[in-house]
Amino acid sequence: MSIDSMYRGTVPAHRKRRAMRSLTLALILLGFGSQVFGEDQPARPRLVLQITVDQLRGDLLARYAEHFGSGGFRYLLDEGSVYEDAHHTHANTETIVGHTTLATGAHPSAHGMVGNVWFDRETGHKTYNIEDPDYNLLTAGADVDDATEIDPTQRAATVAGRSPRSILVSTFSDELVANSAGRALAFGVSVKDRGAVSMAGHAGKAFWFSKASGEFVTSSYYYDRYPAWVEAHNAKRPTARYAGKAWELLHDLSTYLFGAADDVPWETDFPGYGRTFPHAFGDGTSKYFTTLLTVSPAGDEMTLAFAKDLIENEPLGRDAVPDFLGVSFSSTDYVGHLFSPSSLESEDNLLHLDRTLAELFRTVDEKVGLEHTLIVLSADHGAPEAPGYLEQFGIKAGYVDPSAWNQQPGLAALREKFGLAEELILSFIHPYVYLDQAAIRAQGLDPDVVEHAVAEELAKLPGVAAAVASSDVRTGRVPDTRIHRSILHNFNPSRSGDVFIVFEPQHFINDFDGLTVASTHGSPWTYDTFVPLIFAGAGVPAQRIHRRVHTVDVAPTLAAFVDVKSPSGAIGRPLVEVLRNR
C-alpha cells in the first residue's frame, strides 16, 4: 500500500508529503533511498509567506487555543517554532511602525516610519506615512472619504496618492527581488494601505481595500492599469455578499470565555452597529457599510478572498526562485479598538480568523506546498485593556486628554516667561509634541532650553509617566532604561517631534476625533510591545523557545533562511532556532 493511499482523504497534503519524506529519509539511511525517490527537496523555500495580524497581543493565542481548529493557528502552534517572549523595541507601537520594523529588521530611527502620522515642518501639515502626491490611486474616488472613515490615521492624509517612498531603508522583499535580478515576485495585501505597502516594499506590488469604492485598489507606483484578474475580482463586488447580513457568533454563547460580557459600558456603541451580537452590517446602502465590514471578521475574509485570487493568478512559488507574499489581517485591530481585546467580539473574531488562516494555508498547500513555504506570523503591536475592564480587578487605569495641555498653568507660566504670545504647543500627534519653532526663533530663544522646560511641565500632568526632550535623545543624554532606549529607537531627526510623551501604564487617549473607543495602542509598555512570533513550514522544527527575542530579528532570519543579505537598515540578528536544520 502506498503512503498516498494510506492517507487519502484523511490529512492535509503537506502531512502526506511529510510522511513521504520520513520514509525517504529511512530508505536513504539504508543506502538505497535515492534510487527509489530521486533527489531530496530543494533547500530554499519557493515562497515566503509573511502574516501580520494587526493588534494581536502576544498572550491571546494561548488564551483561546483550546477553541482553534486543526489547520490555522493550531498548525502554527503545533508544528512551528514558537517564540513565547517576542517584543517590539520601539516606543511608538502603531501600525506602520510595527509593520515596517517587521519588514526591514530596522528600528524606526532608521526606517523612518516613526508614527502613523507626523508633522511636516516644511509644509506645515500633518503627513500620513505613505501618502505620495506623485502616485494616484488607479480607481477614481477610491481615496479616503472622511465621512465614512472611523480611523483618524487615514483621515490625516492630505493627498490621495500612495507609495513606499517614505520608507528609508530596504525591506526583506526588496532584497529578495534584488538578489534574483528581478525574477522573484513580491506582493503585499491588506485592508489597510499601510499594511500592504510596508510589506510589499519598494520592489513589490501592493493591494489594499478601499472603503470608499468597496474594492481592492493600488496606485500608479505599482501599475499603469490593473491586472485582468484584479478587475475580475472587483467586478464580483466583494462586499455584496454581506449586504443584509450581520456578524453572528461562530459558536454557542455558553462556550465563550467572555460569553457573559456581551454588553459592557466601555465598549463603543457605534450607531447602527451596537455593542451586542448580532452586529448588523445593513443593506449595503449606508455610508458606513464598508467600514462596518472591516470592524468584523468580514474584513479578513475579504482579504483572504483577494489573496487566494492572487495566488491563483500570479505564479507565486512555481519555480526554484523564492517569492514573497505578505498578508496583513486588520480586523483584530478595528474590533479591538471598538470593543477591547478582552471582549466577546475580539474572542469571536479570533476564532473566525483561525478559520481564515486555515483556508489560506490550504490554498498555499495546494498551489505551492507547505513544505516549500516558509511562514512567519507576528503582529505590528499589542493593545491595553479597557480601563473599565481593569478597574473590576482593582487595577489603576484611565484616559488622557491632551487637548487641554496648553491651558495648564505651568505652560501658561512658560509662555509668559519666554515672552510668547502664541501657544507653546503647535501640535500633539501621538506620541510627539511639536512646539512652535517659528515663534521660538522669533524671540531669539534657545530651542533646547524651551524643549526642556516644556518637557518638565508636561511630566507633571496627570496620566503622563515621562516627557523626554528630543535634544536629549539626539545627544544621548537619556537614562539607560528600557523605556528610554525604546524612545531612542523611535527617534528620526527629520520626522520626530520636540518632546516624546509616555503615558502612565494602562492610560491612553480614547477619543478618535469624536469617536470614543474602548482601547488603543502606541506605548512602550509590555502590553503594547508583546506580540506572537511563529515560524513554520519549509523544514522549520517544531519547538517552543522562551528566551526574549525582538521583532527586528524577523527580517534577518528570513534573509538568512533564503540566503540573501539582510535589509540595509537591519539591526536584528537571525534566530538560530529557526535555522537549525539549514
* pLDDT tens sequence across 165-207: 999 999 999 999 999 999 999 999 999 999 999 999 999 999 9
Question: Could you tell me if 506 and 384 are in contact, meaning their C-beta atoms sit under 8 angstroms apart?
Answer: yes
| Whole-angstrom distance, CA of residue 133 vs CA of residue 159 | 6
| CATH among 3.40.1280.10, 3.30.1360.150, 3.40.50.2300, 2.30.180.10 for 401-461+464-503 | 3.30.1360.150
**∠ CA 39-536-374, rounded to 5°:** 60
What's residue 340's pLDDT?
98
What's residue 41's pLDDT?
44
| Whole-angstrom distance, CA of residue 307 vs CA of residue 441 | 52
What is the residue-wise DSSP string for 299-311? HHHHHHHHHHHHH
What's residue 143's pLDDT?
80
What's residue 7's pLDDT?
34
Helices 297-313 and 331-339: angle between axes, nearest 10 degrees: 170
Q: Please report, for the chain, the start and end positions of each structural domain, with discontinuous segments joined by +.
A: 3-37, 47-391+529-561, 401-461+464-503
What's residue 141's pLDDT?
86
Residues in the chain: 582
What's residue 29's pLDDT?
39
What's residue 403's pLDDT?
87
List, for residues 199-257, the tens digit of each pLDDT value.
999 999 999 999 999 999 999 999 999 999 999 999 999 999 999 999 999 999 999 99
Q: Which of 255, 258, 298 is nearest to 279 (CA)?
A: 298
What's residue 407's pLDDT?
85
Question: Could you tell me if 300 and 353 are in contact, meaning their C-beta atoms sit under 8 angstroms apart?
Answer: yes
Contacts of 265 (CB under 8 A, 6+ apart): 388
What's residue 548's pLDDT?
98
For residue 88, what is its C-alpha cell?
517590539
| Whole-angstrom distance, CA of residue 197 vs CA of residue 177 | 15
What is the residue-wise DSSP string for 367-418? HT-GGGEEEEEE-S---PPPHHHHHTTT---EE--GGGGGGSHHHHHHHHHH
| Whole-angstrom distance, CA of residue 553 vs CA of residue 103 | 10
Question: Could you tell me if 314 and 188 are in contact, meaning their C-beta atoms sit under 8 angstroms apart?
Answer: no
What's residue 151's pLDDT?
76
| Whole-angstrom distance, CA of residue 499 vs CA of residue 494 | 14
Question: Could you tell me if 286 and 148 are in contact, meaning their C-beta atoms sit under 8 angstroms apart?
Answer: no
The correct answer on CATH 3.40.720.10 for the domain covering 47-391+529-561 is yes
Considering all CA atoms of the chain, what is the largest pairwise distance in Å, rounded to the nearest integer? Answer: 90
3-state secondary structure of 95: helix
What's residue 33's pLDDT?
37
What's residue 148's pLDDT?
59
Low-confidence ranges of the chain (pLDDT < 50): 1-11, 21-39, 41-42
Q: For cell 528600557, what's the residue?
A: 482
What is the residue-wise DSSP string for 242-267? GTT-EE--SS-GGGSTTTT-SS-TTS
